[in-house]
């Protein structure tokens, strides 16, 4: 390769020659940089990533919101707090119930001319709770009392409150030997805590005052109470207060 002889240039000629050389070198550098930049751009665009890298990228944050459980406010410190017993729906607190209260539905349960007597002659020692919870002396829990307890010694005759037909005789797990009488007009009488010797059969017709059994103490759920008849009335499948019908009844 032939060497370039700078000795031919002196003064202004030498300066011009040097300037031309530098210009050529600079142009070559710019051209090379441009080619390298184009190559990088092409490489990035042909990669799997569709986006260009960004200086100081901001990380994407996914916010997950946990479900919120609603917590009720704290009860009053002086309020009664229900405590469930072994049986669901039975609590340890309940409002008091007036055992002498009457039910207007019960008062209209029988025709005005129908004879009506007390099944036994004693006093009511536990009244109808009308769906409210009352404390059971035997079970030591709060539960509804769907009838009335009329005190009577074991062996005392139990009479039909009014005329009807015996629809069922069975032993209830809690209330013992029970006689159910269909008194008509959607009214059924439940005579419980009887002795096992029932003198009548299902389908028999009875009148007001017919003896249907004797007090027997078979109701395990009320064994801690004084001897009594557990007497309940259901009108159109709803419990009603028998005391409303017996308030003016003879014995």
Does this model's pTM top 0.85? My answer is: no
CA distance 246 to 64: 67
Distance CA 234, CA 232 (A): 7
3-class state of residue 123 by DSSP: coil
- The CA distance from 82 to 134, in Å, is 13
Q: How many CB atoms lie within 10 A of CB 59?
A: 4
Which of 160, 121, 135, 147 has its CA nearest to residue 244?
A: 147
Tell me the pLDDT tens digit for each residue of 115-131.
Answer: 899 999 999 999 999 99
- Per the DSSP assignment, residues forming a β-bridge with 142 are 135
Residue 19 is predicted with a pLDDT of: 59
Residue 247 is predicted with a pLDDT of 72
**What is the per-residue pLDDT for 114?**
80
* Residue 97, pLDDT score: 40
Q: Which CATH architecture has domain 104-246?
A: Distorted Sandwich (2.70)
- Break the chain into its structural domains and give their ranges: 10-45, 104-246
pLDDT of residue 38: 60
Please give the pLDDT value at position 234: 96
* DSSP H helix total and E strand total for the chain: 3, 12
Those residues of the chain that have pLDDT short of 70 are 1-108, 111-112, 248-251
């Amino acid at each position: 390769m032939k060497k370039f002889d700078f000795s031919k240039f002196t003064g202004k000629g030498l300066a011009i020659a040097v300037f031309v050389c530098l210009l050529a070198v600079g142009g070559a550098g710019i051209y090379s940089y441009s080619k390298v930049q184009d190559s990088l751009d092409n490489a990035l665009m042909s990669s799997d990533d569709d986006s260009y890298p960004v200086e100081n990228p901001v990380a994407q944050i996914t916010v997950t919101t946990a479900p919120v459980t609603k917590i009720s406010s704290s009860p009053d410190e002086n309020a009664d707090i229900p405590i469930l017993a072994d049986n669901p729906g039975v609590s340890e607190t309940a409002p008091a119930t007036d055992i002498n209260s009457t039910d207007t539905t019960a008062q209209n349960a029988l025709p005005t001319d129908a004879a009506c007597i007390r099944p036994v002659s004693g006093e009511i020692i536990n009244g109808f709770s009308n769906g409210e919870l009352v404390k059971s002396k035997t079970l030591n829990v709060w539960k509804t009392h769907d009838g009335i307890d009329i005190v009577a010694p074991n062996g005392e005759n139990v009479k039909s409150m009014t005329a009807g037909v015996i629809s069922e005789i069975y032993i209830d797990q809690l209330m013992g030997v029970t006689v159910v009488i269909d008194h008509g007009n959607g009214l059924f009488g439940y005579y419980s805590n009887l002795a096992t010797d029932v003198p009548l059969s299902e389908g028999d017709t009875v009148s007001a005052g017919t003896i249907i059994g004797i007090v027997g103490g078979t109701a395990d759920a009320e064994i801690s109470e004084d001897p009594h008849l557990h007497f309940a009335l259901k009108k159109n499948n709803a419990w009603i207060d028998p005391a409303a019908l017996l308030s003016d009844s003879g014995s």
